[in-house]
Amino acid sequence: MATAVTAAVSLPSSKSSSLSSRTSIIFSDRINFTKSNVYSSGVSVAGKAVSIRAQVTTEAPAKVEKISKKNEEGVIVNKYKPKNPYTGRCLLNTKITGDDAPGETWHMVFSTEGEIPYREGQSIGVIADGEDKNGKPHKLRLYSIASSALGDFGDSKTVSLCVKRLVYTNDQGEVVKGVCSNFLCDLKPGAEVKLTGPVGKEMLMPKDPNATIIMLATGTGIAPFRSFLWKMFFEKHEDYQFNGLAWLFLGVPTSSSLLYKEEFEKMKEKSPDNFRVDFAVSREQTNEKGEKMYIQTRMAQYAEELWQLLKKDNTFVYMCGLKGMEKGIDDIMGSLAARDGIDWLEYKRQLKKAEQWNVEVY
């Protein structure tokens, strides 16, 4: 005989500088009665002989199991591996940056026939056609999925990516084109594409539909957030109705490289109380000190508000894009934390442990 008792304990956050008190983790304390010894003994009740089954139970030590605050249950990873990729087809490929933008970014949709069941926040691998300089097939490159699980056509049969074409000049002065990004940006509708995955759990959305979700993106780092935001504001789900605050910060070089701007404006129109968006256009805007407007420079303008939000148990921060942005964001958070006498790196460690600080930069 086994009995399970499940207790959910949520530790409240505090505005004090105590680090341990601000962490909120939900535990499931399962008390399993695993050993069950059953005895039978003959006794007499009202003159009749009856058999009584007496149960002796030995308690096993309580098992502490962490329940994720993110939408992790049933997430599939690595269904398709490099040796056995899924072959999809390009349905649409369109440049989404202006002609005068520094660099090109493309939005593309591939057919999956529902065979790559991904979730918002995951990535897929792409194996470019052709061979490397050693005559071997190209290695896979990872791309954050830019569509919600329903896909851009709403039928759960497609996956979309947002890809920057990598072109640079090497030390010898030669122009070098990145293998996979150029393969993808040049794909024509109808062409086949080898896909692997899905992979990744770091960027999965929080389960709480009332959460505050702060999204920090540079360039194509917008991909997972487009995926989140479609689910929140463009779709209807029986088991998920977003009613929290979604706040997006997006950093790009020029206004002609602002990605998915019209979509975000539509979301703002539809849900002004639940969505905020702030752009940082680095080569066109500056702050009052004349400094380049990076994403962290824009965030600094809302410093106090962001800091207060970060003290809430159901605020989740997600960061995606250029590796360099992480230090800049640490610097502003560090100065805010210091005003409250808090060591930011330790505070961030606690936030990470509570799944409230999620980073995928490259």
Ligand X SMILES: Cc1cc2nc3c(=O)[nH]c(=O)nc-3n(C[C@H](O)[C@H](O)[C@H](O)COP(=O)(O)OP(=O)(O)OC[C@H]3O[C@@H](n4cnc5c(N)ncnc54)[C@H](O)[C@@H]3O)c2cc1C
Ligand Y SMILES: NC(=O)c1ccc[n+]([C@@H]2O[C@H](COP(=O)([O-])OP(=O)(O)OC[C@H]3O[C@@H](n4cnc5c(N)ncnc54)[C@H](OP(=O)(O)O)[C@@H]3O)[C@@H](O)[C@H]2O)c1
Number of residues that bind ligand X (CB under 6 A): 20
> Which residue positions form the known binding site for NADP(+)?
144, 164, 220, 252-253, 282-283, 292, 321-322, 360
Indicate which single residue of 166, 191, 303, 309 sits in contact with ligand X (rule: CB under 6 A). 166
Contact partners, residue 13, CB within 8 Å, separation at least 6: 21, 22, 23, 24, 311, 312, 313
Dihedral over alpha carbons 328, 333, 339, 341 (to 10 degrees): -120
Whether 144 sits among the annotated catalytic residues: the reply is yes
Q: Is 233 helix (H, G, I), strand (E, B) or coil?
A: helix
Q: Is residue 116 close enough to count as binding ligand Y by CB under 6 A?
A: no
Question: Which residues 243-282 are close enough to bind ligand Y by CB under 6 A?
Answer: 251-253, 257, 282
Q: Is residue 121 close enough to count as binding ligand Y by CB under 6 A?
A: no
Whether 260 sits among the annotated catalytic residues: the reply is no
Q: Is 244 helix (H, G, I), strand (E, B) or coil?
A: coil
Whether 20 sits among the annotated catalytic residues: the reply is no
Question: Which residues 222-241 are close enough to bind ligand Y by CB under 6 A?
Answer: 223
Report the C-alpha gap between 101 and 254 in whole angstroms. Answer: 6
Report the C-alpha gap between 187 and 181 in whole angstroms. Answer: 10
Contact partners, residue 290, CB within 8 Å, separation at least 6: none
Nearer to ligand Y by C-beta: 22 or 230?
230
Whether 360 sits among the annotated catalytic residues: the reply is yes
Type and span of the H or E element at 300: helix 295-300
At its nearest, how many Å lie between ligand Y and the CB of residue 196?
A: 15
Q: Which stretch binds ligand X (CB under 6 A): 51-59, 157-165, 239-247, 343-351?
A: 157-165
Contact predicate 135/238, CB 8 Å: no
For the chain, the farthest-separated pair of C-alpha atoms sits apart, in whole angstroms, at 105
- Burial annotation 176-206 (CB, 10 A radius, 16+ → b, else e): eebbbbbbbbebeeeeebbbbbbbbbebbbb
Q: What is the edge-to-edge ordering of all strands in the sheet holding 63-66?
A: 8-9, 27-30, 63-66
Contacted entry of ligand X, ligand Y, none for residue 181, CB cut-off 5 to 8 Å set by kind: ligand X
* Six token digits for residue 120: 């918002």
Site string for ligand Y, 158-197 (x = CB under 6 A): ------x---------------------------------
Indicate which single residue of 121, 125, 151, 221 sits in contact with ligand Y (rule: CB under 6 A). 221
At its nearest, how many Å lie between ligand X and the CB of residue 173?
A: 12
Q: Which of 24, 111, 144, 227 is catalytic?
A: 144
Q: Which of 257, 318, 320, 347 is catalytic?
A: 320
**Active-site residue numbers?**
143-144, 320, 360, 362
Q: Which residues bind ligand X (CB under 6 A)?
A: 123, 141-144, 162-164, 166, 168, 170, 178-182, 220, 223, 360, 362
